[in-house]
Amino acid sequence: MAKYIVEHSGPLYGEVEISGAKNAALPILAATVLTDGICEINEVPRLKDIDVMCRILRSLGAKVEEDWEEHTITVDGSGIHISEVPYDLVKLMRASIFVMGPLLARLGKATIAQPGGCAIGDRPINLHAKGLRALGGRILISDDMVYANADSLTGALVYLDFPSVGATENIMMAAAVAKGTTIIENAAEEPEIVDLASFLNRMGAKIKGAGTDTIRIEGVEKLHGTRHAVIPDRIETGTFMVAAAITRGNVLIKNCLPDHVRPVIAKLIECGAVIQDELEGMRVRGDINKLVATDIKTLPYPGFPTDMQAPFMALLTTVSGSSTVIETVFENRFMHTAELSKMGANIRVEGKNAYVPGDKCPLEGTQVVSTDLRAGAALVLAGLVAKGTTEVSQIHHVERGYENFVEKMSGLGAKIRKVED
């Protein structure tokens, strides 16, 4: 098993280019199932999750070509005829559930195992099933499998009990070719939803309201191939923003959309970081003011993103004063606190609240375990400022979500390397 060796580093300086968003690219790739045409997807990050989705598409009969020099994936869906997704692929990645709606819409049936992914809490697919049932799908969920079939799909009113990103996307994809009008209320509002809607509309769909809590979809008879560029990754953007702050550095972040990270910007400013808009991107400076504590509470977009909770907590272990972190989205997303406490952070967890004592408890390098994707990034950030050397294992989690992570960090002056254990 590979691991990261992270040594105490000085302030990070330089510039970093943000990759395309994994969480936008995955549903967009799944949406190619809806057409027998050819789709060219640009700005796709080269990640293990992307590789799994490409393997899933091939298993369904699609022809998939990857050009990683151009970060482009071309999908020819004319050969799609298989409705069952291989078990071994589904278990690798939760986003495999995204093909359920498109398969149901195109082939009238779908068989898929209960999806895997990071163990950050209970993420049931009941909202996916609720929406597809409203459209006319017959969904049977067993302990380990999901079976879906439908004679045809018809537009309907769907109210989501929670603004689930995945459910919103699955319902939106299926509704794009359903008969009549579908309205999704209490829909997720994330930028990735908007990007998927933009892609579908380029294919000929009629979707309005993406990015608000009410999405209206007028079903069309057929979708066609198209070309689309994926938006920049807002979580990678936020991670490198925090990297600049935690090391008290000065980093220019290129190919980012500041509007997508407004909550992170606001909290970094509360801590004392300086954020400057420049022609080429956004500069984050942690070297001007003394950084102080702040409190964060995760919420669905446009609130503070749960995916940024762990990296930001790493920062809060280094600032003056005590902070409170409240996690409202996933119940198991404090597993990294035990690992940070191994490094000396002495974080106290009570239910949904974590109390971070700040720089009263200096960090020291040790052996820690990446419990999930964002936790792994947080431990690397902590290792950059901890005394001595930090060994981060289970880094396959990190590599699911960050393209060229070691290279990008090293390019800013971080002392980090990947080794085989």
Residues 212-235: tens digit of each pLDDT? 999 999 999 999 999 999 999 999
Reading the block at residue 320, the tokens are 């003056």
Mean pLDDT along residues 141-153? 91
Alpha carbons 204 and 207: distance in angstroms, whole number: 9
CATH topology of domain 22-229: UDP-n-acetylglucosamine1-carboxyvinyl-transferase; Chain (3.65.10)
pLDDT at 293: 98
Torsions phi, psi for 131 (to 5 deg): -65, -45
**2-19+232-420 and 22-229 agree in CATH topology:** yes
* Cα 68-71-77 angle, rounded to 5 deg: 95
User: In a 10 Å sphere around its CB, with 0-12 CB exposed, 13-18 middle and 19+ buried, how is residue 132 labelled?
Assistant: buried
* Tokens 């079976």 belong to residue: 147
Contact (Cβ atoms closer than 8 angstroms) between residue 167 and residue 160: yes
pTM of the full predicted structure?
0.95
pLDDT, one tens digit per residue, over 341-361 is 999 999 999 999 999 999 999
Using pLDDT thresholds of 50, 70 and 90, give the confidence band for residue 142: confident
Give the confidence band of 143 by pLDDT, cuts at 50, 70, 90: confident
Is the pLDDT at 421 greater than 70, yes or no? Answer: yes
Burial of 19 (0-12, 13-18, 19+ CB in 10 A): buried
Query: CA nearest 224: which of 197, 240, 202, 195?
Result: 202
Q: What is the pLDDT of residues 261-290, one digit of tens each?
A: 999 999 999 999 999 999 999 999 999 999
- Quote the percentage of the chain above a pLDDT of 90: 90
pLDDT confidence bin for 20, thresholds 50/70/90: very high
Given a cut of 70, whether residue 119 has pLDDT beyond it is no
* pLDDT of 118: 46
Q: How far apart are CA 366 and CA 392, in angstroms?
A: 9
CA atoms within 13 A on the CB side of 220: 16
Residue ranges of domains in the chain: 2-19+232-420, 22-229
pLDDT tens track for 41-90: 999 999 999 999 999 999 999 999 999 999 999 999 999 999 999 989 98
Could you tell me which of 226, 224, 206 has the C-alpha nearest to residue 216? 206
Give the CATH architecture of domain 2-19+232-420: Alpha-beta prism (3.65)
The tokens for 172 are: 């939106």
pLDDT of the residue at 115: 72
Per-residue pLDDT, 122: 43
- 338 CB contacts (<8 Å, ≥6 apart)? none
Residue 400 φ then ψ, to 5°: -75, -20
Give the catalytic positions in this structure.
Answer: 118
70: exposed, middle or buried (Cβ count in 10 Å: 0-12, 13-18, 19+): exposed
Per-residue pLDDT, 116: 53
CA 418 to chain centre: 23
